[in-house]
Amino acid sequence: MAKLTLKERFKKVSAGSGDAARASKFATSIFRPGSPFRKGYSDSPRNRSYVVMNNVLYHLHPVKVKRHGVRLSYTLCLGGMSFFLFIVLTITGIWLMFYFRPTEMAYADIQALQTSVAFGSLVRNMHRWGAHLMVLVVFLHMSRVFYHGAYKAPREFNWVIGVILLFLTLFLSFTGYLLPWDQLAIWAVTVGGNMASYTPVFGAQIKFGLFAGLEATTATLLRFYVLHVLFFPFIIVIFMAIHFWRVRKDGGISGPL
Amino acid sequence: MVDIPEHLLLRSAEARAKALGITVEQALAEMKGESAPTVVDDEPEVIEVDLPTPVKAEAPAPVETPKVEEAPAKAEAPAPVETPKVEEAPAKAEAPAPAKAATPAPAKADTPEEVDFAPEVKVTQRLLTVVKAKPIQKAASEPVDKVNTWPHLMLPEFISLMAMMAFLILLSAILQAPLLEEANPNITPNPAKAPWYFLGLQEALSYWDPQIAGVMIPLVIGLIGFAAIPYIDRNKENNPSKRKYAIMMYTFFLAGAGTLTIIGVLFRGPGWNWTYPWIDGIWFDDLLDWIYFE
């Protein structure tokens, strides 16, 4: 027997499997025309367009993109990674909220999460390392955009939005830093808050507003918690929507160099 | 036949009677099919001038001759309709056309070259200029080489996401996020360090006045300065070889921020004094579980 390529083998295995299910009324009610999950999908230019057009999530993309833009070496997928990490952080963050109270119980809750909740430690680690990674990736994304000169007309304002997104990312990370309520958290945030207090004229007021008092207490914890899980995510999602929308309105990816 | 409401039938019969100059009853009878339709031949005749026998050509003219016997019953005396008095309708093909139509036809047929189809038209145009054929609108951009998003973009994207997810899960399984003792405002660790992305700033604070390092750098340079880059850099080129100055500036910034951050993370110990991580150990709790030099 002739040796099959991987593609042929896949076709042989998958031929007919699930066809009845994929052709069922139930499946066709879920997957819109052009979906690869629908029966009768074939690789045609029309279906390639439908895949994007007929799906609310993929619709973030245009149907066609510049050929040089899909090279991994051009974007390094850094913008997409930032967004993906944000999604991962949202999901793990919501999961962590089930086990966390922003009170004097916070530290005990984190300990309980690590010791007596299934996958608690893993999810907490993912949230923390993912957050550090996101700061890094967003920064690298900015550097990539700079080195490609991608902030130039007509993309000037999207760069401004991007800088705001970088700062929002930093704020998100910083407000989350306090939540474990251990010595690392409280003193890192104290240092950060002291930096903010050097602001001319309003320094003391800014620190007071940030800490909900003169120093980091459980009131600060509650304040940072609300900022972290509600306020900044809300703001950053708005700016991300503008950012993604502007990418397309400004003519897609920049370049080629 | 579709049943037409009586009032609509009446209305259209009235219109027809007015147009043809017949009575309403006659029109109504014609529409109901009770009598043959009236024909008005005051429309311009189509004259086939090159036919040798114009009379023949007009033979199929729609002369639906009403029966002479029926016509008087309808009392159509005032109608200007010329109803040719023909004895037998079926013979109309051979019958000569109505006199009115027939009389001018031979005259025209004899002199076909004199037929003036549009006597009022004079040749009035002259050549002013020659305009090249080209589109009114000019395409603003050159066509670019594009590929379908699916699969050429979405597949690499998906693979990248999966790789990142795998990396993150692996990292989280290996490295435990730090959790020190419970927060205690009365015990200040030495040194107290900010999150790593602020450590470059904290390091800068040890050199300069806090109002400069703590406020001016992050706010004026970091936020306003960075946001203003596209409005300061008016160079339109995006080829790296044509924007060396901008690239140099950004690289200086990167190197400076990176150096400050690395110093802040690794080379600062108690009292913010210079330490070597391979001698004195790491003074950064986020990294404690990662790196051991002992």
pLDDT exceeds cutoff 90 at B244: yes
Residue B117, domain member (yes or no): no
| Tens-place pLDDT, residues A186-230 | 999 998 888 888 888 888 898 999 999 988 999 999 999 999 999
Q: Which CATH superfamily is domain A70-249 in?
A: Cytochrome Bc1 Complex; Chain C (1.20.810.10)
For residue B209, what are its two tokens?
């006045």
Among the partner-chain residues B146, B149, B173, the one whose CB lies closest to the CB of A61 is B149
Name the residue among B41, B45, B43, B37 with its Cα closest to residue B16: B37
Number of cross-chain residue pairs from A and B with Cβ atoms under 8 Å apart: 213
pLDDT band at B24; cut points 50, 70, 90: confident
Q: What is the torsional sign of CA B229, B231, B232, B235?
A: positive
pLDDT exceeds cutoff 90 at A148: yes
Burial class (CB in 10 A: 0-12, 13-18, 19+), B199: buried
Distance CA A143, CA B252 (A): 12
Residue B88, domain member (yes or no): yes
Average pLDDT of the residues in B143-166: 91
pLDDT exceeds cutoff 50 at B158: yes
Residue-level pLDDT at B36:
75
Query: Are B229 and A146 a contacting pair at CB < 8 A?
Result: yes
pLDDT band at B97; cut points 50, 70, 90: very low
pLDDT exceeds cutoff 70 at A122: yes
Residue-level pLDDT at B95:
44
Identify the domain containing residue B240 by its residue range.
191-294
Average pLDDT of the residues in B248-259: 94
Of B77, B98, B119, the residue at which a domain comes to its end is B98
pLDDT band at B115; cut points 50, 70, 90: low
Degrees (nearest 5) of the Cα angle A95, A136, B172?
Answer: 40
Average pLDDT of chain A, as a whole number: 90
pLDDT exceeds cutoff 70 at B90: no
Residue B145, domain member (yes or no): no
Of B55, B71, B98, the residue at which a domain comes to its end is B98
- Give the ranges where B99-152 is alpha helix by DSSP (H): 99-102, 104-110, 149-152
Among A66-70, A233-237, B288-292, which range has the highest average pLDDT? A233-237
Query: Are B230 and A153 a contacting pair at CB < 8 A?
Result: yes
pLDDT exceeds cutoff 80 at A47: yes
The amino acid that residue B124 corresponds to is T
Among A74-78, B112-116, B283-287, which range has the highest average pLDDT? A74-78
Instruction: Among B142, B145, B146, pick the best mutation site for testing chain A contact (most A Cβ within 10 A).
Output: B146
Report ipTM for this prediction: 0.90
CA distance A117 to chain B (A): 15
pLDDT exceeds cutoff 60 at B211: yes
Burial class (CB in 10 A: 0-12, 13-18, 19+), B287: middle
Distance of CA B106 to the CA centre of its chain: 61
Which chain A residue is nearest to residue B154, measuring alpha carbons?
A: A58
Cα-based distances in Å from B172 to A30, A75, A127, A131, B100: 35, 26, 9, 12, 106
Query: Are B153 and A114 a contacting pair at CB < 8 A?
Result: no
Number of structural domains (chain B) is 2
CA distance A160 to chain B (A): 5
pLDDT exceeds cutoff 70 at A14: no
CA distance A1 to chain B (A): 32
Residue-level pLDDT at B126:
75
Of B98, B118, B145, the residue at which a domain comes to its end is B98
Residue-level pLDDT at B114:
56
CA distance A153 to chain B (A): 8
Instruction: Among B161, B172, B245, B262, pick the best mutation site for testing chain A contact (most A Cβ within 10 A).
Output: B172
pLDDT exceeds cutoff 90 at B220: no
Residue-level pLDDT at B91:
43
Residue-level pLDDT at B139:
66
All residues of chain A having their beta carbon less than 8 Å from the beta carbon of residue B144 are 66-67
Which chain B residue is nearest to residue A59, measuring alpha carbons?
A: B149
Query: Are B188 and A199 a contacting pair at CB < 8 A?
Result: no
Residue B93, domain member (yes or no): yes
Is B155 or B286 the better-scoring residue by pLDDT? B155
CB neighbourhood size of B229 (10 A): 18
Residue B35, domain member (yes or no): yes
Query: Are A85 and B231 a contacting pair at CB < 8 A?
Result: no
Distance CA B264, CA B225 (A): 23
| Tens-place pLDDT, residues B37-62 | 776 665 555 555 554 544 444 444 45
> What is the end-to-end Cα distance of chain B in Å, rounded?
106
Distance CA B109, CA B56 (A): 12
pLDDT exceeds cutoff 60 at B75: no
pLDDT exceeds cutoff 80 at A17: no
Residue-level pLDDT at A96:
97
pLDDT exceeds cutoff 80 at A104: yes
Burial class (CB in 10 A: 0-12, 13-18, 19+), A85: buried
pLDDT band at A93; cut points 50, 70, 90: very high
Counting residues of chain B whose pLDDT is more than 90, the rounded percentage is: 25
CATH 1.20.810.10 residue ranges for chain A: 70-249
Residue-level pLDDT at A151:
93
Query: Are B153 and A65 a contacting pair at CB < 8 A?
Result: yes
Residue-level pLDDT at B86:
45
pLDDT exceeds cutoff 70 at B13: yes
Average pLDDT of the residues in A76-85: 95
Residue-level pLDDT at A116:
95
